[in-house]
Amino acid sequence: MTTSPARLTGSERACLETIDQTAMLSQVERWAAINSGTGNLAGLAQTAQLLADAFSALPGDVRLIDPAPVDAVRADGSIDTIQRGQHLVVQVRPQAPLRLLLTGHMDTVFPVDSGFQSLTWLEPGVLNGPGVADMKGGIAVMLAGLRAVETSPLAATIGYDVMINSDEEVGSGASAALIAELAAGKLAALTYEPALPDGTLAGERGGSGNFSVIVTGRSAHAGRNPQDGRNALVAAADMAVRLKALTRDGLSVNPARIDGGSANNVVPDHAILRVNFRPQSLEMQAHADAALRQIADAIGREHEVSVHVHGSFGRPPKPIDPGAQKLFGLVKDCGEALGLEIGWRGTGGVCDGNNIAACGVPVVDTMGVRGGAIHSADEFLITESLAERARLSALTILRLAEKRGL
């Protein structure tokens, strides 16, 4: 670590020197060896217990919280409840004058039957493995940073909640209400998604909405009386084309899949259109939502079918407002004190930082490790960034306490 001693106090240096990179790497290797794909409830339960044990090193209340129910539209049009894993919540000094929120996720995108299950050293200091960057490395950074903060005389003035959910990779439907509850009253938030390999952070983010549009028509014989049928598949396809035409600057629309259809000699009476929206602003989100409803009504009238829209904009757009600008500035200053150049840029990706920002809480959501190729079998962690980013995290929290705010 290259530091600027004149820019760190003796107390700060003492705290940062407690961070143990070797111990952090061992944690990542242990956690990443367990498959915790969002749908692997057994793997998530095992991971949650390991994390609960690790976070018990903090002087607070450690709990596993049951997930909220999540509805899903099946291929046959029925609406079912999906079971998610428990979420980890740690609460430390809730009555402290400074209150922060730190979030991460234990789930990965790799299912239990994925062929990507093992850890491999690509070269010295570069570890390949499922979730090493996104975000078991980030969780290790969060915990090490907090443990360092606890060694400071300022710790008594800092209260924080930690939330590590089990369903971030699928939109946090089972944890969104919990995130909003924990964000209430917080001065600022840090989320531990990975930074880019060069350390660049994500700034503003667009939003995301996922919808399943259920179209119900009327079946008929394709040769004898097709005029009596109402083709749900054609109606869904027409809707997909109309929705795609909404794409413009500030809004991307991706009709992704149509489920349904029937035998070649039957007019299909059932189809489900799956579509994703990516608005860059709240105004564009409102426009997209209104347009979706209008097109659904038009499709229903013109094709004489029933159209039911299921879903929501689960990730609102995250702009850089004045509060977020101040928080980014503080992180940048802390980076300079540690000899790190911290920059940021906008991204089309979404995460729990979107949900936190929507609660009016300033958030920097890429406080995790440096790494890359996430969501693929090439995912990697630059291991020197474990201690590096833990120091950045700890110093940011300490200086929020020193300043008593932003």
Is residue 217 within 8 Å of residue 393, measured between CB atoms? no
* Domain 208-315 of CATH type 3.40.80.10: no
- Per-residue pLDDT for the chain (406 aa), expressed as one digit of tens each? 444 444 899 999 999 999 999 999 999 999 999 999 999 999 999 999 999 999 999 999 999 999 999 999 999 999 999 999 999 999 999 999 999 999 999 999 999 999 999 999 999 999 999 999 999 999 999 999 999 999 999 999 999 999 999 999 999 999 999 999 999 999 999 999 999 999 999 999 999 999 999 999 999 999 999 999 999 999 999 999 999 999 999 999 999 999 999 999 999 999 999 999 999 999 999 999 999 999 999 999 999 999 999 999 999 999 999 999 999 999 999 999 999 999 999 998 999 999 999 999 999 999 999 999 999 999 999 999 999 999 999 999 999 999 988 9
What is the residue extent of each domain of the chain? Answer: 5-205+318-403, 208-315
End-to-end Cα separation, the chain, in angstroms: 27
Q: Is 54 helix (H, G, I), strand (E, B) or coil?
A: helix
Residue 180 is predicted with a pLDDT of: 98
Q: Could you give the CA distance from residue 105 to residue 375 in angstroms, rounded to a whole number?
A: 14
Kindly calculate the radius of gyration of the chain based on its CA atoms and give it in whole angstroms.
24
Q: Which of 329, 388, 393, 324 is nearest to 360 (CA)?
A: 324
* Helix ranges restricted to H, 192-231: none
| Residue 88 C-beta-side C-alpha neighbours within 13 Å | 26
123: left (phi over 0), alpha (psi -120 to 50) or beta: beta
The pLDDT of residue 2 is 46
CATH class of residue range 5-205+318-403: alpha beta
pLDDT of res. 3:
45
